[in-house]
Amino acid sequence: MSRRSGILEFAVLGLLRESPMHGYELRKRLNTSLGVFRAFSYGSLYPCLKTLVQRGWLVEETSGQPEAESGTAQPAPLGGRRARIVYRLTAEGKEHFEDLLSQTGPDAWEDEHFGIRFAFFGQTSRDVRMRVLEGRRSRLEERLARMRASLARTRERLDDYTLELQRHGMESVEREVRWLSELIESERSGGRRSRPTEHESADPAHGAPGPSEDTDK
């Protein structure tokens, strides 16, 4: 699986976890709610949906008809207008998405992945959010240090416009580092709310964390 197709699969599973959708509606959500996916088209979305169906993570249902007991859609009528196909997340698909949400390795911090991971923070547990945010901040701080070192070595050889471009890039990274620091502090203080995860919903002892719990995280 390519990195980009993996991101698309993650986004599709995440959106369908919220509610079943037909292909056009799903594409619109990818293009508007998750602007990073504007480059995707039907040409890439439908092969992705087909793959997810084959893996058992999605099922196709005919719009307006109940799901069959076997978990497959009722057959569309032979005549008349073609029935609309709605895609629904299966229990296996939900479990797989929960597993993806829990991953906090370097891929979650990279430019291409971080935006989509952040888009689903509302479905992500606080400890995972913290690890992703801190990992992203560390990665950008390393990048900023390299940019500053490079600029210090080469600034005498750069014309004014190239120098301004370098400064603009550094300022963009600095802004994101400050933004991440604010988010991390907000998470630590319990200032943000998200949808309870499956584990949190099932645990009657789970509630709003107290100051000591936030400090530990």
pLDDT at 205 over 90: no
Residue 44: what pLDDT? 86
pLDDT at 27 over 50: yes
| Torsion sign (Cα): 18, 134, 1, 31 | positive
Residue 168: what pLDDT? 96
Residue 129: what pLDDT? 96
- Helix and strand numbers (H, E) in the chain are 9, 3
Q: Are 143 and 173 in contact (CB under 8 A)?
A: yes
The confidence band for 216, taking pLDDT boundaries of 50, 70 and 90, is: very low
Report the range of poorest mean pLDDT among 73-82, 97-106, 196-205: 196-205
Top mean-pLDDT range of 21-35, 113-127, 198-212: 113-127
Return the DSSP state at 92. Answer: H
The confidence band for 42, taking pLDDT boundaries of 50, 70 and 90, is: low
Residue 43: what pLDDT? 76
Average of per-residue pLDDT across 188-204: 56
Nearest C-alpha neighbor of 112 from the set 31, 6, 1: 6
pLDDT at 210 over 50: no
3-state helix, strand, coil in the chain (%, to 5): 65, 5, 30
The confidence band for 39, taking pLDDT boundaries of 50, 70 and 90, is: low
State the average pLDDT for the chain: 81
| Residue scoring higher pLDDT (152 or 215) | 152
Residue 213: what pLDDT? 39
- Compute the distance between CA of residue 67 and CA of residue 85 in angstroms, rounded to an integer: 12
